[in-house]
Chain A
């Protein structure tokens, strides 16, 4: 179904169920399913269709270790609701997560790449879980359905078609999250997510650290006004400040951050996820993200060598693609630094060869290409590299 068709279906289903009694909406109970004649059941039905579409999209990451880990963090936060949430790791660049009213949770790989520790992941999951527990979608729908704003309710789903290269994907996300929540709902989700992570023993300061990183990325972006995450989550500095205030109010007991378990399941994917981010060619944003990842790696030291080699390689890739003044020299240095870690991918040697060749440093290029082929004997582009060697 096309997005516009989906939105129309939502309207028909929900307006058809519009006679449902109003009044205080209680939190959803663990295991609760809405009654069939309710508008909430209509929302669930539409979400189930969106879920089927997501499963068919080929975007769902099939890695039981990764999905199991993220779901495990969620279950630690809220054991009672653990079985009600269906988690999908969605292969997509950019920081984003969305919770549908039927408990379908989308976590984008761009988010898993960026969270620097388990505490930050727990804050995001707690925030999304709060949207579900507090029935925010249903509340928002009932608030706006009898007003001209009812079209605004679906605005995000329709606007998704125009948001950059992830258009088709963001429509899935939009239908998953259905809409942007109200400012008060976001604040409430922040507070509940924060309380949940603190109660589970995660360092509450990490909520603000995560928020500050996202703001820094947005500021460096070529297109800050069309940021996927901030288009659904108000991004004022005020929000960062309120998280800092909450962190200052918690007691003085020691909290955990935990980076190792997160890295153990995400690091095997970092190469592909960093490549996804680079394809957006938003170099300012990419550089800020790399800086944060590198700093967090240095802080913990856990598997830092492996991660740093890859990050330096992608820093080189960023400079090579950007092609601004002095970028070739910067790329060369980044590739060399990556190789020096002993953990760079073989493609770093190929990239060195291409840059040396462009600079007419033929002997250096030859040596780099030969190292690439030695490291990657089954390289798919072996024939081309051998052709390059023949031209040097």
Chain B
């Protein structure tokens, strides 16, 4: 189990001690920003405008949804008693897409992942909005490799973002097709 410590830390950093609930295979609303069609059932952790869905456990694979991130908000909560308040990356509404990818990469690095790389940044539709896609690769503290793919858009200065990631050899490919269909089902609210 310790091989999956980093994603669990990421999960806890986001959601504290909230409980999983069932996501049914039907259209789901994320925050008050957009909706997606779930292709299968997932387990959901939710806090405010951030959700994490997983089928087999956050250490194996997860979909992370951010809805309407505002200026100054972060992907992860600052840890008490640390310098995170000053140094954890914050979203800025004047960021270019290149800088948004950098924001995600640096945030993941600060959450405990290592060798985080963002690549293949390209334009992509996020529902009816003009958005972006990019790919991710990273490793846990014990060297287990993960892959990820992200889609997002800035709508009225707020960042909508979905990140799917999973262990490179099995779990990432396992739900990749479901994730692609979910990405194409995005509808802005």
**Which residues of B have CB within 8 Å of A226?**
82-83
Q: How many positions in chain A have a CB within 8 Å of any CB in the partner chain?
A: 32
- The stretch of B20-28, B33-41, B55-63, B135-143 in contact with A is B135-143
- Cβ contact within 8 Å between A57 and B142: yes
- Is B70 at the interface (CB under 8 A from chain A)? no
Nearest chain-B residue to A165 (Cβ)? B110
**Which residues of A have CB within 8 Å of B99?**
354
- Cβ contact within 8 Å between B97 and A384: yes
- Cβ contact within 8 Å between B114 and A58: yes
Contact flags (1/0) for A351-392 with B, using CB distance below 8 Å? 000100110000000000000000000001101100110000
Secondary structure class of chain B's binding surface, majority of residues:
mixed
- Cβ contact within 8 Å between A223 and B83: yes
Nearest chain-B residue to A386 (Cβ)? B123
**Which residues of B have CB within 8 Å of A56?**
142-143
**Which residues of A have CB within 8 Å of B112?**
165, 167-168
Contact flags (1/0) for A264-294 with B, using CB distance below 8 Å? 0000000000000001111000000000000
Interchain pairs with CB closer than 8 A, number:
84
**Which residues of A have CB within 8 Å of B111?**
165
**Which residues of B have CB within 8 Å of A223?**
82-83, 86-87
Q: Roughly how many angstroms separate A354 CA and B94 CA in the complex, as a whole number? A: 11
- Is A1 at the interface (CB under 8 A from chain B)? yes
- Cβ contact within 8 Å between A222 and B98: no
Closest-CB distance, A331 to chain B (whole angstroms): 12
Most A Cβ at <10 Å: residue of B84, B88, B120, B121 = B121
Q: How many positions in chain B have a CB within 8 Å of any CB in the partner chain?
A: 36
Contact flags (1/0) for A201-227 with B, using CB distance below 8 Å? 000000000000000000000110010
**Which residues of B have CB within 8 Å of A57?**
114, 141-143
Nearest chain-B residue to A280 (Cβ)? B87
- Is B81 at the interface (CB under 8 A from chain A)? yes
Q: Roughly how many angstroms separate A91 CA and B143 CA in the complex, as a whole number? A: 12
Selected contact of A168 from candidates B5, B87, B97, B120, CB within 8 Å: B5
Contact flags (1/0) for A139-155 with B, using CB distance below 8 Å? 00000000000000000
- Cβ contact within 8 Å between A381 and B2: no
Closest-CB distance, B113 to chain A (whole angstroms): 10
- Cβ contact within 8 Å between B143 and A58: yes
- Is A106 at the interface (CB under 8 A from chain B)? no
- Cβ contact within 8 Å between A282 and B121: no
Contact flags (1/0) for A233-267 with B, using CB distance below 8 Å? 00000000000000000000000000000000000
Q: Roughly how many angstroms separate A384 CA and B118 CA in the complex, as a whole number? A: 13
Contact flags (1/0) for B97-129 with A, using CB distance below 8 Å? 111000000100111101100011111000000
- Is A53 at the interface (CB under 8 A from chain B)? yes
Q: Roughly how many angstroms separate A279 CA and B106 CA in the complex, as a whole number? A: 6
- Is B158 at the interface (CB under 8 A from chain A)? no
Most A Cβ at <10 Å: residue of B94, B98, B119 = B98
Point out residues on A near B: beta carbons under 8 Å. Answer: 1-2, 53, 56-59, 91, 162, 164-165, 167-169, 222-223, 226, 279-282, 323, 350, 354, 357-358, 380-381, 383-384, 387-388
The 4 closest A-B pairs by CB, nearest first: A168-B141, A58-B143, A223-B83, A383-B122
For this complex, 27 residue pairs linking A to B, each with C-beta atoms less than 8 Å apart, are A1-B2, A57-B142, A58-B114, A58-B139, A59-B114, A59-B143, A91-B115, A162-B79, A164-B82, A165-B111, A167-B112, A168-B5, A168-B6, A168-B112, A168-B141, A223-B87, A226-B83, A281-B86, A357-B96, A358-B96, A380-B120, A381-B98, A381-B120, A383-B121, A383-B122, A384-B98, A384-B121
Point out residues on B near A: beta carbons under 8 Å. Answer: 2, 5-6, 79, 81-84, 86-89, 92, 94, 96-99, 106, 109-112, 114-115, 119-123, 132, 139, 141-143, 145
